[in-house]
Amino acid sequence: MQSISDLVRDVPDFPRPGVLFKDISPLLADAAGFNACIEALAEPWRQARVQAVCGIESRGFIFGAALAQALGAGFVPVRKKGKLPPPVVGIDYGLEYGTDRLEMGVGAVSRGERVLIVDDVLATGGTLEAARKLVDQLGGEVVGASVVIELAALGGRPRWTSPSPVHALLLS
């Protein structure tokens, strides 16, 4: 089996010049590699009594749903604006090139429910922090976050204001 990092392909100048895109398609296509990735994402949380895994649209759905299965937890999608039926709670957050909005269904997370937030990449940290704030709005208890890749040079980790940890499999 190839290592997890060997299954992530670098694509220079995509989606625009100067950006080095991390393509996870080869990782997803490799059954053993994807399984190893999910197991590695789950490992720090096995004793955390996670009840729900919130996966951030869209690649966070892939990792989040599989991670929820590995942890025996439910899966909750965190969606972009207008993709969920009402009622929803939402939060606007800043991107390096503008703003966006994330939403969750009202009642998707119960008060006191232990929640893990999952995404594929931690870049500038805005998306992960917005998801954390949504879980807080719904009364969930964030136990932490897991990402496959952290782009450390973009400095996203300090935007995570929760005392709970962020676990990254690969640092780039």
Catalytic residues: 59, 96
Residue 26, C-beta contacts closer than 8 angstroms, at least 6 positions apart? 7, 8, 9, 33
Give residue 6's Cα distance to chain centre. Answer: 21
In a 3-state reduction of DSSP, which class is residue 29?
helix
Residues in the chain, how many? 172
Residue 20, C-beta contacts closer than 8 angstroms, at least 6 positions apart? 10, 11, 12, 13
